[in-house]
Chains A and B, each alone.
Chain A
Amino acid sequence: MDISGQDNGVTLNSSYQFSNNLEADFGISAILNSQIDNDILIRAGLKMLFASSSSGAAISVEKGSEFQKVIATIVKGYEGGKIKLSVAQLKKIMGINFSDFT
């Protein structure tokens, strides 16, 4: 089965910072020339910083007609760097050509 292909995408995103520790964002993406189909994705997210800004968390949800993605992230700062742990679940509807299996 050949799934090779090319996508072109454009994303518009905006965010609003409620305070130094809370920011929300919203975005819309268009995927063009996809081998399977064109699609529009909607995304919303929330970012938070905790005490003394040394740790933070974020969550975002993105959804399209064939695609859904949820990402949760926690970040902890240390001297010299920061470590990020992210967990995501993706769901995508794929196209399958049965002729390739016959």
Chain B
Amino acid sequence: MIGDILRDIKFSINYFSVDNVDLGKIGEIVVDNANTFDLTYAYGAIKGGDKVSSGLDFDIKVADDIKLVLGGGIENIDYNDAYTSGDSVTHSYYNVGMDYQPDNYNNLSVNYLKNGTFEKYGVNYVHDFGNKVKASLSLYQTHQRQ
């Protein structure tokens, strides 16, 4: 085994369904979206690559304290193989999730992502201590088949 370096530059544009112009609480800005930023693809000895993805995400309120999260999109990856001139792959991805927030201090969510040969199952719990401090615990499992 040796080490090689994979570098990806990824762009994504996501559209979120919300009620008004206000983005909401600052903590609701999504920083790291599993749909777009995961270590998913490596076919052969990759020297590097570029990935462009775009998709739609929807937050659907099904009850006062339950929200359904749906998302999907398409990705294109141009990668540079160590032994050829490179290749291009285009495929789709989707994710489903459920978000349960019984009060302002507790939030539990489960999610599933399918992205080509990559799958991710996750559960996340966030507790707001009410004094501007929040803490979260996440558990996840990934599968990648080639």
Contacts and interface: CB of A to CB of B under 8 A. Distances in A.
Interface of A: 1-18, 20-23, 29, 45, 47-49, 52-56, 58, 60, 62, 66-67, 69, 71, 73, 75, 77-98, 101
28 contacts: A1-B44, A4-B143, A10-B138, A10-B140, A12-B137, A12-B138, A13-B135, A13-B137, A15-B27, A23-B26, A45-B31, A47-B27, A47-B31, A66-B3, A77-B21, A82-B15, A86-B12, A86-B36, A88-B9, A89-B10, A91-B7, A93-B3, A95-B1, A95-B2, A96-B2, A96-B3, A96-B45, A101-B45
Nearest to A76: B23
Given A47-B26, A94-B5, A81 B17 contact: yes
Contact of B133 (A5, A15, A79): A15
A87 B10 contact: yes
B7 A89 contact: yes
Given A56-B26, A79-B20, A11 B15 contact: no
A14 to B, nearest CB: 5
A7 B44 contact: no
A28 B17 CA distance: 30
Interface in B3-34: 3-18, 20-24, 26-27, 29-33
Interface of B: 1-18, 20-24, 26-27, 29-33, 36-37, 39, 42, 44-46, 83, 117, 132-146
B9 A22 contact: no
Most buried by A among B4, B15, B21: B21
